[in-house]
Amino acid sequence: MRRRISVRTEIRQTRLFRSAAEEAAVGLILTADHLVRCLAVVIEPSGITHQQYNVLRILRGSHPQPLPTLEIAERMIEQTPGITRLLDRLETKQLVARERGSDDRRCVYCRISERGLALVGALDEPVRAVGRAAFATLSRAAQRELIARLDEIRAALRE
């Protein structure tokens, strides 16, 4: 079993947190950062960032139907103001294609290319492996409990 390292120890904080809620928030952000860095290790050798991977994953989910750019932005796990730049880079790599709407020329639709489908498909197992490794110390029941608690936290933050 892995040795548990407290948030305070990991960030070398000598003072106590003001509250358990503050410690939990810092712990959640720190843990999310660790997870993102582990995912980057398996995703970035493919020539894309984890945000670009997220866009490809979203577009694969709607395939073969294209999605409006703004809907892609709304579905992103990490909200980013630079969705157009993300799509520009993916289009340059021929992983997505964009087209203007026929009824409303302001609306831009995006679809994943065959090359994009192949790339995201090749990353499926390595990404799943990171998830399995990250949560291997938690039982299935504990994982479901964590999911429920995170859902509650996000709901409270939306209010």
Q: Tell me the pLDDT tens digit for each residue of 62-105.
A: 999 999 998 999 999 888 778 889 999 999 999 999 987 667 66
Domains and CATH numbers, the chain: 7-158 (1.10.10.10)
Is there a contact between 114 and 75 (Cβ–Cβ < 8 Å)? no
In the predicted structure, residue 3 carries a pLDDT above the cut 80: no
What is the pairing mode between strands 96-100 and 67-68?
unpaired
| Whole-number Å distance between alpha carbons of 56 and 76 | 10
Q: Which residues contact 48 (CB under 8 A, 6 or more apart)?
A: 56, 90, 93, 95, 119
pLDDT digits (tens, 9 = 90+) for 118-149: 999 999 999 999 999 999 999 999 999 999 99
